[in-house]
């Protein structure tokens, strides 16, 4: 039987991959399952997007290949969004790039910039596509443990000199999955300066830029002087618009920095379904009226989650952004064992270690369902933790 490539064996199983099957088994056993695992809300996308998608799907011309260019009004809407929201101008044709979800772009990016002998610097815990893309490209990931010690920020001064010398990409994601941390402007200025000095591509994953609360407004990396020379920024429709399954996202940045990714994609895909791109335009164009109501729902869920997990005996911090609580576990309670035990009680959470060894000692709760269900989940989690402590 043919063997899979060695680089695949070097990758761990994807942390969420087994959950749908496991959930089916639990449901078959009659267990009431509350899924707070993936960042995948149970809410509806903007109605305008759904209507446009349905109508566009009936037009034969919209069923043809989008190719790399995609649906040109999508690029124009993206450029208009970047201008309106952050005040930065991008050329729609050369400085914006439609993606089939930002995971697709983020994971393909390493193929464009890193290879044998190179390193990439990755937040640990962090979104697994950074590591996956790096290893599939034959490069070596350098995992930097982001912890409360550095406010969940990567301090490049702590990265060994030989790693920095070989580094081609630094992945940053603020607002951060899974910790909910945000990055101060002074930090971003320092990082941009260092990336310019070291000639490292700064990949700024801004998937949660619009999912913010309490008056916090997330920046673009392009707010920082000099960022255009070293940075690409990734945005997604998944979280902002409850459109996870649609697979629609974009990258923006200088044409010369985007071009290598355009080339990789020209060999690996032929563009997102154009009706989805047209629907995404509608989502962007109606966002001013639609987004605030959606964020109200998430804020209510966040507040319920913070309260309920605190009442259940956990230490909680209310995040100013994202859809996640990053909750510490008591010493001696391994995150995987806790998540497995909680799964048997019908609650899906993500063990911190599933997002990288640096995530050990924490678990992630996605506040993606109703306050009542979150409260029930927190009660079960408190009970499971008590039982584990008694046994320890």
Ligand X SMILES: Cc1ncc(COP(=O)(O)O)c(C=O)c1O
Residues near ligand X (CB under 6 A): 39, 101-103, 127, 173, 177, 205, 207, 236, 238, 244, 249
Q: Rounded to the nearest whole angstrom, what is the least distance from the CB of residue 171 to ligand X in the complex?
A: 9
> Closest Cα partner for 126 from 138, 142, 104?
142
Q: Rounded to the nearest whole angstrom, what is the least distance from the CB of residue 211 to ligand X in the complex?
A: 10
- Closest to ligand X by CB, 283 vs 341, is 283
- Closest to ligand X by CB, 102 vs 316, is 102
- Closest to ligand X by CB, 38 vs 310, is 38
- Closest to ligand X by CB, 113 vs 345, is 113
Q: Rounded to the nearest whole angstrom, what is the least distance from the CB of residue 227 to ligand X in the complex?
A: 19
Q: Which residues contact 75 (CB under 8 A, 6 or more apart)?
A: 69, 92, 93, 96, 98
- Report how far residue 191's alpha carbon sits from residue 157's, in angstroms, rounded to the nearest whole number: 10
Q: Rounded to the nearest whole angstrom, what is the least distance from the CB of residue 366 to ligand X in the complex?
A: 9
- Report how far residue 36's alpha carbon sits from residue 371's, in angstroms, rounded to the nearest whole number: 12
- Closest to ligand X by CB, 105 vs 346, is 105
Q: Is the dihedral of CA 309, 310, 313, 315 positive or negative?
A: positive
> Closest Cα partner for 208 from 44, 37, 378, 41?
41
- Other beta carbons less than 10 A from residue 193's beta carbon: 15
- Closest to ligand X by CB, 178 vs 384, is 178
Q: Rounded to the nearest whole angstrom, what is the least distance from the CB of residue 32 to ligand X in the complex?
A: 25
- Other beta carbons less than 10 A from residue 338's beta carbon: 21
Q: Rounded to the nearest whole angstrom, what is the least distance from the CB of residue 281 to ligand X in the complex?
A: 17
- Report how far residue 104's alpha carbon sits from residue 132's, in angstroms, rounded to the nearest whole number: 11
């Amino acid at each position: 039987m043919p063997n899979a490539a060695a680089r695949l064996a070097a990758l761990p199983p994807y942390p969420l991959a087994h959950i749908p099957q496991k959930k089916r088994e639990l449901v078959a056993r009659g267990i009431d399952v509350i899924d707070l695992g993936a960042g995948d809300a149970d809410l509806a996308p903007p109605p305008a997007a759904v209507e446009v998608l349905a109508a566009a799907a009936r037009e034969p011309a919209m069923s043809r290949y989008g190719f790399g260019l995609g649906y040109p009004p999508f690029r124009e809407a993206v450029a208009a969004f970047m201008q309106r929201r952050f005040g930065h101008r991008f050329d729609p044709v050369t400085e914006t790039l439609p993606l089939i979800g930002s995971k697709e772009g983020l994971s393909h990016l390493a193929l464009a910039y890193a290879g044998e002998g190179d390193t990439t610097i990755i937040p640990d815990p962090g979104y697994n596509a950074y590591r996956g893309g790096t290893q599939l490209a034959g490069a070596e990931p350098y995992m930097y443990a982001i912890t409360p010690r550095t406010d969940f920020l990567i301090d490049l001064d702590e990265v060994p000199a030989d790693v920095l010398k070989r580094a081609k990409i630094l992945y940053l994601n603020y607002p951060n999955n899974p910790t909910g941390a945000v990055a101060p402007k002074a930090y971003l200025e320092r990082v941009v300066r260092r990336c310019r000095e070291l000639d490292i591509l700064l990949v700024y994953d801004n998937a949660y830029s619009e999912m913010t609360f309490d008056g916090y407004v997330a920046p673009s990396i392009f707010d920082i002087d000099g960022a255009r020379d070293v940075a690409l920024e990734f945005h997604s429709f998944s979280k902002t618009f409850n459109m996870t399954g649609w697979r629609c996202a974009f990258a923006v940045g200088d044409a010369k920095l985007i071009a290598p990714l355009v080339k990789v994609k020209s060999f690996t895909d032929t563009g997102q379904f154009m009706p989805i791109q047209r629907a995404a335009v509608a989502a962007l164009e109606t966002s001013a009226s639609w987004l605030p109501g959606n964020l109200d729902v998430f804020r209510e869920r966040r507040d319920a989650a913070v309260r309920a997990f605190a009442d259940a005996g956990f230490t909680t911090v209310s995040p100013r952004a994202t859809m996640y609580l990053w909750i510490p576990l008591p010493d001696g309670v391994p995150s995987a064992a806790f998540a497995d035990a909680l799964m048997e009680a019908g609650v899906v959470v993500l063990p911190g270690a599933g997002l990288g060894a640096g995530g050990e000692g924490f678990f992630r709760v996605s506040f993606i369902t109703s306050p009542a269900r979150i409260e029930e989940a927190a009660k079960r989690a408190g009970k499971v933790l008590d039982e584990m402590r008694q046994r320890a």
